[in-house]
Structure 1
Amino acid sequence: MENLIKKAKLRDADAFTKLMQQQMQNMYKTARAVLYNEEDVADAISDTILACWEKIGQLKQDGYFRTWMTRILVNKCTDIIQKKKQFCLMEDVPEIPSRDNGYEDTEWKEALNMLGERYRLIMILYYVEGFKISEISSILDIAESTVRTRLSRGREKLAEDYRPELRRKQI
């Protein structure tokens, strides 16, 4: 991957295309964790690819390409959400998402979807994408302690939802 990054920085379109193809599944999973609509996911990914191509020269350390790219993707997803909030009318019926094969385990996906976005995105980046806490902190531009707290609270929420006996003991 490092070789492709070096070539892409030299504006080698074929190397950049291969690099993006290698990252496509990771981008899809991350975008799908934030956005529920397939069209929005596709828009976020295509905007990310374009931004990466335009700004790849700004990547300081080749080893952090995936973290850099994911941060761009999360920002593009956030932009889409903000645009939708501006144009969304309260009486609109939300669009039902199409069938998603993005996660192998449907139960895990349903559990994550029950979490709020602030927890869901961090859980996806940590457990599905395999990013370290420091990398998630960099991607989302939040403190590492915040990432750890949200991971912990996300785990607690999942435990409460899947183990009702825990709720009864706390009451």
Structure 2
Amino acid sequence: MQIENERLVKKAIKGNKNAFEKLVQQHYEQIYRTAYLYVHNEEDALDAVQEAAYQAYKSIRTLKHPEYFLTWLTRIVINCAVDVIRKRGKVVPMNDEYLSNVADESTPDIEAASELWHAIGQLKHNHRTAIILFYYHDYSIKTISRVMDIPENTVKTYLSRGKAELKKVYEKEEERSHG
């Protein structure tokens, strides 16, 4: 699979539109969910993915290492999702559609999932990105470093600070519900 992917990437870099389309289709679910985690609704996620695919197609020739295609594409998707949020001028509140799309077998309790995603939504952008990529996508520190274009130690710092921020958010919620 990896070798086939790299072959498709090399073809796409040389201008093969079909190879590029196949790559986007192979990774569509992951890039859509990444966008959705930022924008919290289907329409904006689709806009972000469409814009990311367009930008990636325009700049595929700049990709130096075919083996990092998904890392490169993920960075573009995140940037496009953030742009969609900026253009809308607001962060879209999480709704039932959002929760049903992000909840899975590992988060069977919708209320707990709601609290978690609400808390993650309150994190600083870089901390949120690191948390989502590490815990939701199971990316390694090294891969997150490439996606975010930062040193590995900075990723570790963002994860640590993000977890600390999440803890504070949960503690505040706990105080509110019991106080």
TM-score range, shorter chain: 0.7 to 0.9
Q: Who is 2:130 aligned against?
A: 122
Does the residue aligned with 2:15 lie in a helix, a strand or coil?
A: coil
Structure 1: stretches of 5+ with no match in the other structure: 89-93
How many angstroms does 1:159 deviate by?
Answer: 5.1
Q: Who is 1:43 aligned against?
A: 47
Does 1:113 find its partner at 2:126? no
User: Does 133-142 or 68-77 show the bigger shift?
Assistant: 133-142
Structure 2: stretches of 5+ with no match in the other structure: none
Q: Which structure 2 residues correspond to residues 55-94 of structure 1 after superposition, within 5 A?
A: 55-85=59-89
How many Å separate the matches in 2 of 1:146 and 1:33? 22
How many Å separate the matches in 2 of 1:59 and 1:12? 14
How many residue pairs are counted as aligned between the two chains?
A: 158
8 Å Cα contact 1:44/1:80 also seen in 2: yes
> Structure 2 vs 1, CA of residues 109 and 7 (structure 1 numbering), >3 Å: closer, same or farther?
farther
Structure 2 length-normalised TM: 0.74
How many Å separate the matches in 2 of 1:153 and 1:96? 23
Does the residue aligned with 2:97 lie in a helix, a strand or coil?
A: coil
Does the residue aligned with 1:11 lie in a helix, a strand or coil?
A: coil
How many angstroms does 1:84 deviate by?
Answer: 2.2
Q: Looking at both structures, which has the greater relative contact order when contacts are Cα pairs under 8 Å and sequence separation is at least 6? A: 1
Letter in 1 for 2:84: I
8 Å Cα contact 2:134/2:144 also seen in 1: yes
8 Å Cα contact 2:52/2:76 also seen in 1: yes
Match of 1:8 among 6, 12, 28: 12
User: Does 152-161 or 21-30 show the bigger shift?
Assistant: 152-161
Q: Who is 1:134 aligned against?
A: 142
* Root-mean-square deviation over aligned CA pairs: 2.6
User: Does 154-163 or 30-39 show the bigger shift?
Assistant: 154-163
> Structure 2 vs 1, CA of residues 103 and 66 (structure 1 numbering), >3 Å: closer, same or farther?
farther
